[in-house]
Every structure is written in structure tokens, then in C-alpha cells.
Amino acid sequence: MTGLLGFSSGYRAMENCDALLMLGTDFPYQQFYPSKAKIIQVDIRGEHLGRRTPIDLGLVGSVSDTVDALLPLLDNRRDTKHLHSSRAHYAKARKSLDELADNDRNRAPVHPQYVARLISELASNDAVFIPDVGSPVVWAARYLEMNGSRRLIGSFSHGTMANALPHAIGAQAAFPGRQVIALAGDGGLAMLLGELLTLRQQKLPVKIVVFNNASLNFVELEMKAAGIVNYGTALDNPNFAEVANAIGLFGQRVEKPDDLEGALKAAFEHDGPALVDVVTARQELSVPPAITAEQIKGFTLYALRTVVSGRGDELIDLADTNVLRRLFS
């Protein structure tokens, strides 16, 4: 996967390709398109052709019909250099990401990568995952393992905040036999907190895992990249587990990594709606597949302005969360 939510191997494979075939998508991240490749776009909606980037060939039609017509025209290629290079790069990038999804010697706060990895490992084989818009989408894209039976649903076109819980309610009502897991941001859950009452009223066994970093985290990341000192993004949250318990749901709070697996198992096995409130690292950086000079400049300005504002402790926390743990792990 590439784009702002993906990681480096997808970007590398696309950047070095000869032709980019887009089937039923108009990939939204313009800065991640290849610079030299021919671009072919297939979509049943003609108005979407060339909407995001100039294309060399646009075809209106269904993906299935187009692929069926295209496959007999293709010759097998013996040159596998691009394939092997891309797969090797993926293995390296995947290993780097997986190393970040660890317990970190039971140090608090919990790294969100570790939360997403354990959710994936403990969820059922046909689970429905629904991440909130923002950083939960990043961790879902990077760490949830899909197998053909699992589903990933989200507000991926509109980017609507607070989508995880209401989407989960709808999915669980439509498929009562499936395990539905909402990966909720603390800001998203707080926006539609009353929907917890809907879970109780309708007795829907949705499982909610809250990535509680006390901030509008993805907005903070965008501000850092733009050189803006974080302002107006901090959240003074309640203990969401206690809120869930007060409503009559299963609720458990996790502040240490050692407690996470047991809490998730208890929630997933609970016969009814359940919420796990996980205190995660606020300064965790979800680094995009490629970093522009403008972003480097912006992040440098953010660091300087943060120090001048007397908030140097935030930079220390950022370094401890993202750099120092790698050096001393």
C-alpha cells in the first residue's frame, strides 16, 4: 500500500514501474504518483477518469470485463527484476514496521502499532474492522492482516471523523454473527459518545478499542509537517472504560503493554458490547512513504518554534517515542 497511509515499498514499486494500471480507483494522493510511468485508468464512472492526475489512456467499463479482455493479450515476461526488487524492498520495509509493533519492555504509554498488531492476531478469521479517520486508519492499513474473509470498512472517500462507532453499529446490525471491531480514536469516540447507549439499547456486541492519545493526533502530525506548533488539539479525556462501565458495557483501561493482550481477549470473548481504553503514545510519528523537502522544512520550523515557545519537553518526548527506543531496544 502506498499513499499517505501506506509505507515505502508500495511507493517504491510504483515509482519504478513502466506502466501504472489503476483498476476502479482514482488514487487520491497526487504526490505519490510515479513521475515517468504511463498511466492507464479503468473505471465504470467515466467522470472519474483523469480526475486526480493526467492519464495516458482512460477506459470506461467494469474492472471484471476489462481484465477478462486484457489477460489474453498479455505475454508472460521473463524479466523479473522489478518483481524481485519490489518484493525484497517490501520484506525489508515490513520487517522495519513489525519491529515497531512491540511491547517495548512494558514501558508506558503503549505504542499504537502494538495495539493494532494484537487486534489483528486476536480477532476472528472473518472479523470486520472499522477504523476512525485519522491515525487509526494508518495503523489499520499497516498492521491488520487481511485474509479474504475479513473486511475493512471506513470513511475512505469522505474522511468523516467519528465514523468507527456508527459504522460498527450498522455492520453489527446487518451481520449479527460476525465479530465487528471499531478502532476508535479518542476524539472520534468523544464526538459521538452517545452511540454507546445505542450499543446497550440494541444489545449489539461491537468491540471498541480506543487509541487514547489525548489529542487529535493526525491533525497534530499535519501541523508538525507544516511547521506549526501544536495548538488546540489536546483532549482532556475521561476514563472511557469507566464511562462504558457506567453505561452498562464491558469496559477495561490499559496503561501498560503487559496488560493489553489480556484486556483484548476479555473484551473479544465478552458476550456483548465491550470497550478497551488504551493509553497510547501521543508523539508517535506515522512516517509517510516519501518525505518532501517542504515537509522537512516544515518539521524543522515546528521543532524550532516549539523550543522557542518553551515546550522543548514535547520534542524530548517525541525523540524518546520514535528514536531512542530503537537505539536502546
240 part of a folded domain: yes
CATH classification at residue 225: 3.40.50.970
87 part of a folded domain: no
CATH classification at residue 39: 3.40.50.1220
pLDDT at 301: 61
Contacts of residue 318, Cβ cutoff 8 Å, sequence gap at least 6? 283, 285
| Structural domains in the chain (count) | 2
CA distances (Å), origin 62, targets 38, 70, 71, 96: 21, 12, 14, 37
Specify whether 163 is located in the same domain as 54. Answer: no
The Cα 13–Cα 199 span in angstroms is 43
CB contact at 8 A, 19 and 37: yes
66 part of a folded domain: yes
Segment 152-209, tens digit of pLDDT: 999 987 889 999 999 999 999 999 999 999 999 999 999 999 999 999 999 999 999 9
Specify whether 28 is located in the same domain as 126. Answer: no
Which residues sit opposite 210 in a β-bridge? Answer: 184, 277
Specify whether 162 is located in the same domain as 58. Answer: no
50 part of a folded domain: yes
Specify whether 54 is located in the same domain as 191. Answer: no
Specify whether 178 is located in the same domain as 142. Answer: yes
135 part of a folded domain: yes
Specify whether 129 is located in the same domain as 230. Answer: yes
Specify whether 75 is located in the same domain as 138. Answer: no
In the chain, which residues have pLDDT < 50?
A: 308-309, 315
290 part of a folded domain: no
Specify whether 121 is located in the same domain as 37. Answer: no
> 198 lies in which domain range?
104-279
Specify whether 55 is located in the same domain as 160. Answer: no
pLDDT at 291: 57
85 part of a folded domain: no
271 part of a folded domain: yes
The one-letter code for the residue type at 278 is: V
Specify whether 54 is located in the same domain as 200. Answer: no
The grid coordinates listed for 40 are 492507464
Residue 124 gets the label, from left (phi > 0), alpha (psi -120 to 50) or beta, of: beta
The Cα 57–Cα 237 span in angstroms is 50
Specify whether 160 is located in the same domain as 29. Answer: no
pLDDT at 158: 85
Which residues sit opposite 152 in a β-bridge? Answer: 129
Specify whether 58 is located in the same domain as 112. Answer: no
The Cα 133–Cα 185 span in angstroms is 8
Q: Which of 273, 274, 277, 285 is nearest to 319 (CA)?
A: 285
170: number of Cβ within 10 Å: 13
The Cα 2–Cα 174 span in angstroms is 31
The Cα 116–Cα 81 span in angstroms is 33
Residue 242 gets the label, from left (phi > 0), alpha (psi -120 to 50) or beta, of: alpha
The Cα 190–Cα 162 span in angstroms is 8
